[in-house]
Amino acid sequence: MSWEMAVEAGQDPSLLGEDEFYGYGVDAGTGCFYDAAADGSFPGTEEEEGAVWAAMETVGHGPAVFLAEGEDGHTLAGFTSGWGDGCYPTWIGRDAEGRVTCFVTDFLVVPPRASASA
């Protein structure tokens, strides 16, 4: 298994400093994963209506995970984000053949280990 930072076109992780990362923005304390092919499959989301908001209402407030069924058979996996709104890095896990097996977002809730010199 190998891991790589999820980036958008034009983002180069080798240009980042030690404590820097590319990530995605979280608003309303909720993040999600969906395939790029699903863009436009969840109308009404920005107006706080539609499939995503209906799915969020089924789990209530607090830590939650939910699935939203969009148009054309697309599904979105949503989840509450660690410290709420902000920017968080995502990592892509690949198997020995290089196939994508998972995505993991680091919500930065576990403090980094102290350095050996501290």
Is 115's pLDDT higher than 80?
A: no
The pLDDT tens digits of the residues spanning 48-73 come to 899 999 998 888 777 789 999 999 99
Kindly indicate the confidence band of residue 28, based on its pLDDT and cuts at 50, 70 and 90.
confident
Q: Which residue is it, tokens 């995503």?
A: 52
The pLDDT tens digits of the residues spanning 92-103 come to 999 999 999 999
Alpha-carbon Rg of the chain, whole angstroms? Answer: 16
pTM confidence score: 0.75
H/E stretch holding 13 reads none
Q: Which amino acid is at 117?
A: S
Mean pLDDT of the chain: 89
* Distance separating alpha carbons of residues 11 and 22, to the nearest angstrom: 8
